[in-house]
Amino acid sequence: MNNESKKNVLITGAAGGIGCVAALAFAKKGCNVVINYKTSKEKAEALADEINAMGVKALCIRADVSNRSEVNSMFDRIDKELGSIDILINNAGIAQQKMFCDITEDDFDSMFNITVKGAFNCTQAALSGMIHKKRGKIINISSMWGVCGASCEVHYSAAKAALIGMTKALARELAPSNIQVNCIAPGVIDTPMNVSLGEDTLNLLRQESPMGRFGTPEEVAALMTFLACGESDFITGQIIGIDGSFI
């Protein structure tokens, strides 16, 4: 991805398993990386130190993506220190397993605020620079459960499905501006977030997988860097599963 050198990428929720690996992958391609986090300050700062040591620039910025004023402040700092964002990865999200009747209004609001409103806020903030330059890449991170739905994860599935709808509609709207919008729908990926499912559930999911294993954050990051490179310019509005044929 040599033609992507010195481009600026913002990854929301970058201190998590997939986000952290993606940040390193883009840095290895020569991109400057903005590491957004909400609570994992130490992990985010350690990641920034690692990226800065690679010879590209890393900014570590705390912002709740569901809060518009915090997102605006984050982009103000990015503009001053790096310039406009070329590649936006809407990765921030939360997971929760609950029976539908036990989901509270706060559970539902938190899920949609972080996953959907966060992507909305960051995308709107990034678009002015992209439209001005007539180029840009937006990659939303959904889930295979946003495609087929998951029992005991109705609000999670619904929020991830909303990202899919946002991707398809926005891709059509932004195509004349040469901005590509795509969505990645990972299956079960070997990250710390999935440890909370418990060993019995993980073993069952592994047995149900046609490939007999989980995906890796590195495999998801490789798909991100491809969708962010110039060779993928005619790919837009697509929902790309990376689930080992689980669904």
* Residue 185: strand pairing partners: 241
pLDDT in tens, the chain (247 residues): 444 458 999 999 999 889 999 999 999 999 999 999 999 999 999 999 999 999 999 999 999 999 999 999 999 999 999 999 999 999 999 999 999 999 999 999 999 999 999 999 999 999 999 999 999 999 999 999 999 999 999 999 999 999 999 999 999 999 999 999 999 999 988 876 666 667 777 888 888 889 988 899 999 999 999 999 999 999 999 999 999 999 8
Output the pLDDT for position 4: 47
Output the pLDDT for position 205: 82
Output the pLDDT for position 244: 93
Phi, psi of 32 (to 5 degrees): -80, 140
Return the structure tokens found at 125.
Answer: 């903030």
Catalytic option among 156, 167, 223, 239: 156
Output the pLDDT for position 194: 67
Amino acid, single-letter form, for residue 25: A
Residue 156 designated active-site: yes
Q: How far out from the chain centre does Cα 99 lie?
A: 26
User: Rounded to whole angstroms, how far apart are CA atoms 10 and 87?
Assistant: 6
Output the pLDDT for position 15: 93
Residue identified by tokens 């991830």 is 160
pLDDT in tens, 84-124: 999 999 999 999 999 999 999 999 999 999 999 999 999 99
User: Rounded to whole angstroms, how far apart are CA atoms 24 and 40?
Assistant: 17
Q: Which fold has domain 2-242?
A: Rossmann fold (3.40.50)
Residue identified by tokens 């495609």 is 147
pTM for this entry = 0.94
Check: CB of residue 146 under 8 Å from CB of residue 163: yes
Output the pLDDT for position 6: 86
Output the pLDDT for position 196: 64
Give me the DSSP letters along the chain: -GGGTT-EEEETTTTSHHHHHHHHHHHHTT-EEEEEESS-HHHHHHHHHHHHTTTS-EEEEE--TT-HHHHHHHHHHHHHHT-S-SEEEE---------GGG--HHHHHHHHIIIIIHHHHHHHHHHHHHHHHT-EEEEEE--HHHHH--TT-HHHHHHHHHHHHHHHHHHHHHGGGTEEEEEEEE-SB-SHHHHTT-HHHHHHHHHHSTTSS-B-HHHHHHHHHHHHSGGGTT--S-EEEESTT--
Q: How far out from the chain centre does Cα 120 lie?
A: 12
What are the extents of the domains in the chain?
Answer: 2-242
